[in-house]
Amino acid sequence: MAKKPGTNPKGEFAFFNVFYEDDSQRSNRRVPSELLGGLDGDEPARNFIMEQDREIAEKSGRPALEIKRIERVGVKKK
């Protein structure tokens, strides 16, 4: 059954492209919006994604990759 319009909250997550030291990329990683903003800007997103990567690495048995940089999706570069 289809959802009623307006029941999906917008802005609940911010999306980031993550670039790793081995030049691989993961797109559209979701980060809760309530973690972002303030004086730290997008830095809490890096910590959140690093924690996700650690959990994934533990489950997969592979080492977590080192993050080179993150970019918020949909934000124009200056």
Residues 6+ apart with CB under 8 A from 33: 11, 12, 13, 14
Contact 43, 69 (CB under 8 A): no
Q: What is the pLDDT of residue 5?
A: 64
Tallying the residues shown for the chain, one arrives at 78
pLDDT in tens, the chain (78 residues): 666 665 556 778 999 999 999 999 999 999 998 888 777 788 899 999 999 999 999 999 999 999 999 999 987 666
The SS3 of residue 10 is: coil
| Structure token pair of residue 18 | 């993550």
